[in-house]
Chain A
Amino acid sequence: MTDTVIRTESLTKIFEEGKKREVVALDKVSLEIDRGEVFGLLGPNGAGKTTLIRVLIGLLTPTKGKAWVLGRDVTQDIDYIRERVSLLPQEAGIYDRLTARENLVYYGGLYGIPDDDLRARADRLLDTVGLREKEDYQVKGFSGGMKRKVLVARALIIEPEIVFMDEPTTGVDTIGARVVRNVLKKLSSEQKRTIILTTHDLNEVAELCDRVGILNDGNLVAVGKPSELEEQFKAADLEEVFMGLVTGEGVYEQ
């Protein structure tokens, strides 16, 4: 029996720009994601990926429609949800005057995790992302990739049931990206965490994601396993599916 942890029904988000102009960022998006899934959200810039994540985590209020995370309505029980989910934002910043360890511990502390537990988790995560030797250095001296690893570790310090990761490997070098991907794989396979991942790297999607959803102009235009989508759209690979749905090239022209 599947356990649905995220469900949206006709979820719509409209931003008002000035008094007359409206931007439909999400247009009647209906989606279900099961526990333990690695779900890839694909779409060009401005498609609504970040908006969808922000609605699901309570940073934005839906204009219409409904959304439930872990069975709770995001507009009603956001504190319950936030205790159990974690976010790595797209342009996530880091407190660069704190050390790598302090960044992790500080974030975990905001969730009320006991000190001893927090220390043990920080040790484990710093080992996992390969930053144990640099744990007491202020982050301001770190490279972009190292900072991203700290952010990934920070998102996992609370051991969330669901992790929203908005482009987690952007700016990370090849080795660092591999480390991050391995962490995500482990989270999914061993700990059965649900991971919602946005990325522009379709190889990453193919490697990590059980299913993908493709957003274009706020519309969810396709949902399914990569192989199912390739078959459905008679495409050679996921990139061809993506290009066809987003730009009309390839499969749509056929």
Chain B
Amino acid sequence: MVVRLVRKGPDRKMIWLIKKEVKSLFRSRWLIFGLMVSPLFAWMFEGVFLSFVVAQTSAEPETVYITLDDEGIWGNTLYSAIESEMDTLLIEQLLNVTRSDGENMAANRTLSVWVLIPENFTQELEAANRSTLVVWVNTGNFRATAAAQRIDAFAKQVINEIVIIRDLRVDWYTITPEATYGHSLAVFLVMIVSVMAPSPYVGQSFAGEREKHTLEALLVVPMSRVSILIAKLIAGLALTMFYSVFTVIGILIYNWSIVVRAAGLPPEVMDYYVNLYTVNSSAIPLIFFCQLLILICAISIGIVVSSLARDQATAESINNLILLIPTMMIGILGFTGSILQYGGVFGVFVLSIPFSHAILFLNGVLSGVATPASLLGNVAYMLAFAVVFLIIGAKLFEREAIIA
């Protein structure tokens, strides 16, 4: 059936069913309202949030602790440069501490930024043209992270500009590995909202038809159940396209909010924040595509759940539970760093969740670090997952008990 459908396209009966599904859906004003508002709200919230971050990190100074253990020339040069550029680097106070005090504060989580210029800093730089600066940061603090980023860039500028071939490495250590910010939140929001979006439609279209006793009459029409299932799937995708369009509008509003918020900053600072936080418009088609994959996976899971549930409310509740728990889990894991960091059985479990691949895809696209192969792998997994669940859904839909 699927092969025939792909070869010949949907027949007139299927188109008729799709039209009816879409017509019914678009007369459900609250459903449509929800599909319009949820992506807009999610992205506008992200915009407001990151505007707040921009304001915090571009205007508010931060206290920085520093330890100079190196007695050589380059350690002192770097220290003096940081001290003289405190205003530019938005450092409120530069407080000297001993290494053990710094380590204690890191252990107690009482510092924002601690810069350690180690004792062999000059020696390594002169011997091998390479050296390491250590920065401890409270990454849960936007201002602290931004201050550390500024010091990171400034230190490389100071050391590497003097002798071009020199290479300063800055090792970052976080005192709060459970908290990062930025795109993780954007990805999380897109994920949660996208995963939940098709639930009302799927519940209404399958379990709802059983509950309202419209399914029996539908199942006796001269169409195979797989055709009916595919028609409903296509109608669901049409609906999600509508949803995705509003996601794009939401992203554009989000980008606009960041640009507006950063407009009052000096040009180079504005460029930095706009480039850092706005979604590159060339990435929007890929986000749109990824969201489509998320929605297909969510619909396929929903079809399985709705084919088993007796009524729409049960279907929606179970569906939300099944979708929400793994999405929340991987979303929260995403805040602690890459979800690829987990190994063993737990790592396999995390990667078996299709939405993990959506997060990897979106992170890869938004940060620009993805390779075509990794993106293709993510897409292939999500498509394969959806196909498997649709086959299970079709089997469940074929059961006699579907009308019982």
Q: Which residues of A contact B (CB under 8 A)?
A: 54, 57-61, 79, 82-83, 85-89, 91-98, 102, 106-107, 109-112, 138, 154
B306 to chain A, nearest CB (A): 16
Assess whether B16 is in contact with A110, with CB atoms less than 8 Å apart. Answer: yes
Q: Among the listed stretches B19-27, B310-318, B361-369, B370-378, which one makes contact with chain A, having 4 or more residues with CB under 8 Å of it?
A: B19-27
The winner among A91, A98, A106 for most chain B CB atoms within 10 A is A106
**B24 and A95 within 8 A (CB):** yes
Contacts of B214 in A (CB 8 A): 92-95
- Please give the distance in Å from A98's CB to the nearest CB on chain B: 6
User: Is there a chain A Cβ closer than 8 Å to B28's Cβ?
Assistant: yes
A97 touches B28 (CB 8 A): yes
The contact sample of 7 A-B pairs, CB cut-off 8 A, is: A54-B403, A59-B219, A59-B400, A87-B216, A87-B220, A91-B213, A98-B23
Q: Is B212 an interface residue (CB 8 A)?
A: yes
Instruction: Return the 5 tightest CB-CB contacts between A and B, nearest first.
Output: A93-B213, A109-B16, A93-B214, A93-B212, A82-B222
Contact B23 A107 (CB under 8 A): no
With a cutoff of 8 Å between Cβ atoms, the chain B residues found around residue A92 in the complex are 213-214, 216-217
Residues on the A chain within 8 Å of B13, using CB: 109-112
A94 proximity list for chain B (CB < 8 A):
212, 214
In chain B, residues 198-239, which have Cβ atoms closer than 8 Å to a Cβ of chain A? 209, 212-223
Q: How far is the CA of A47 from the CA of B284 in the complex (A)?
A: 60
Q: Which residues of B contact A88 (CB under 8 A)?
A: 217
Inter-chain contacts of A60 with B (CB < 8 A): 400
Shortest distance between the CB of A101 and any CB in chain B (Å):
12
B interface residue count range (under 10 / 10 to 19 / 20 to 34 / 35 or more): 20 to 34
Using A92-B213, A95-B214, A102-B23 as known contacts, say yes or no to A111 and B400 having CB atoms under 8 A apart: no
Tell me if A107 and B222 are in contact (CB < 8 A): no
B403 contacts A59, CB within 8 Å? yes
Docked pose: A92 CA to B16 CA in angstroms = 20
For A154, what are the chain B residues with a Cβ–Cβ distance below 8 Å?
A: 217
List chain B residues, Cβ under 8 A from A110: 13, 16-17, 218, 221-223
Q: In the complex, what residues of B have CB within 8 A of residue A83's CB?
A: 222
How far, in whole Å, are A155 and B386 apart by their CA atoms in the complex?
36
A92-B213, A97-B28, A138-B27 as given contacts; A112 in contact with B12, CB under 8 Å: yes
Q: Which of A61, A95, A112, A138 contacts B20 (CB 8 A)?
A: A95
User: Measured between alpha carbons, how far is A95 from B217 in the docked complex, in Å?
Assistant: 11
A83 to B221, CA, bound (A): 7
Most central of B17, B217, B400 by chain A CB within 10 Å: B217
How far is it, in angstroms, between the C-alpha of A96 and the C-alpha of B20 when the chains are bound? 12
B27 and A97 within 8 A (CB): yes
Interface pair B222/A111, CB less than 8 Å apart: yes
Is there an interface contact between A58 and B220, defined as CB atoms closer than 8 Å? yes
In the complex, are the beta carbons of B20 and A98 less than 8 A apart?
yes
Residues in chain B near residue A97, CB distance under 8 A: 23-24, 27-28
State A138–B27 Cα separation when bound (angstroms).
10
Chain B: CB-nearest residue to A138: B27
Shortest A150–chain B CB gap in Å is 12
Given contacts A97-B28, A110-B16, A112-B12, contact A82 B216 (CB under 8 A): no
Q: How far is the CA of A86 from the CA of B12 in the complex (A)?
A: 19
Max count, chain A CB within 10 A of own CB: residue among B16, B212, B222, B403 = B222
Instruction: Please measure, in the bound complex, the distance between the C-alpha atom of A66 and the C-alpha atom of B24, giving whole angstroms.
Output: 39
Considering only CB atoms, which chain B residue lies closest to A79 in the complex? B222
Q: Which of B283-326 contact A (CB under 8 A)?
A: none
**How far is B216's CA from A95's CA once the two chains are assembled, in angstroms?**
13
